[in-house]
């Protein structure tokens, strides 16, 4: 009886973890969030997505991209 209870609880916890992971991967609009492309930071990736979807025009994209890049941390040399 206790082994069955343990297995049931393990399944419930595993299901909860899987649901939490799946929920966390979705953006606020329901689309899956992807990792940024090579060389892009999270802000630049989001900005590129907004430009591609037509939310912002080219002028605003370039202006905001310049601001993001001017405030980006500089890479450190080993």
List C-alpha distances in Å: 69 to 9, 13, 77.
49, 43, 19
Q: Could you tell me the two tokens for 72? A: 């980006």
Q: How far apart are CA 32 and CA 29, in angstroms?
A: 9
What pLDDT shows up at residue 78?
A: 62
The helix (run of H) or strand (run of E) holding residue 57 is: none
What pLDDT shows up at residue 13?
A: 93
Q: How far apart are CA 22 and CA 28, in angstroms?
A: 13
Q: What angle do CA 24, 26, 27 make, to 5 degrees?
A: 110
What pLDDT shows up at residue 62?
A: 92
What pLDDT shows up at residue 31?
A: 57
Tens-of-pLDDT digits for all 78 residues of the chain?
A: 689 999 999 999 999 988 888 777 655 555 555 554 455 568 888 989 999 989 889 999 999 999 888 877 766 666
What pLDDT shows up at residue 18?
A: 87
């Amino acid at each position: 009886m206790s082994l069955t209870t343990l297995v049931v609880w393990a399944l419930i916890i595993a299901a909860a973890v899987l649901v939490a992971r799946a929920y966390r991967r979705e953006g606020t609009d329901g689309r899956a969030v992807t990792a940024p492309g090579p060389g892009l930071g999270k802000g630049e990736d989001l900005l590129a997505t907004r430009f591609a979807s037509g939310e912002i025009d080219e002028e605003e994209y370039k202006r905001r991209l310049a601001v993001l890049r001017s405030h980006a941390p500089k890479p450190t040399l080993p």
